[in-house]
Amino acid sequence: MEPQEACILVIEDNEDNLLVVQDLLTLAGVRQIVAQQTGAQAVATAVALSRIDLILLDLQLPNEDGYAILHQLRQYPHLQHIPVVAVTANVLPDDVHRARTAGFKGFIGKPLDFDQFPQQIYRLLQGEEVWQARP
């Protein structure tokens, strides 16, 4: 799938980080970006949307754990096939292993690599997995 055809849900509580991700997605050609800052809002939005092609999920949300949000998303049959990518500052090998074991389809460490991020999104939209702990 080409980026301009994709609908991407971004779950990020930090407003500055959210703006950076949105700007980078726009530069990558993505036209449909849906953003939420809490897990509860994100799950409700994901359930309501008719189409999502990729979910970028911050693992550290206030009072919420990204792993629990992934589990909630997977409870809905129409969301089970959507790739969810962990985006986090926790970038130790154990963090990557935990994300892979939990069922994430990718891992992108913060701070984001502005040069690589658009290509990572393209690869994810092609069905590839991206596992990059450090930029």
Going along the chain from its start, the domains and CATH numbers come out as 3-132 (3.40.50.2300)
Is residue 24 predicted with pLDDT exceeding 90?
A: yes
Q: Convert the pLDDT of each residue in 36-68 to its tens digit.
A: 999 999 999 999 999 999 999 999 998 889 999
Instruction: Tally helices (H) and strands (E) across the chain.
Output: 5, 8
Helix (H, G, I), strand (E, B) or coil at 74: coil
Residue of higher predicted confidence among 91 and 12: 12
Q: Looking at beta carbons, which pairs linking 114-120 to residues 24 or more positions away fall under 8 Å?
A: 114/24, 117/24, 117/28, 118/3, 118/24, 118/27, 118/28, 118/29
Can you read off the two tokens belonging to residue 47? 């359930």
Residue 71 pLDDT class (50, 70, 90 cuts): very high
Q: Convert the pLDDT of each residue in 74-129 to its tens digit.
A: 999 999 999 999 999 888 788 899 999 999 999 999 999 999 999 999 999 999 99
How confident is the model at residue 79, as a pLDDT?
96
How confident is the model at residue 63, as a pLDDT?
86
- Average of per-residue pLDDT across 16-39: 96
d(CA 38, CA 36): 6
How confident is the model at residue 91, as a pLDDT?
82
How confident is the model at residue 134, as a pLDDT?
65
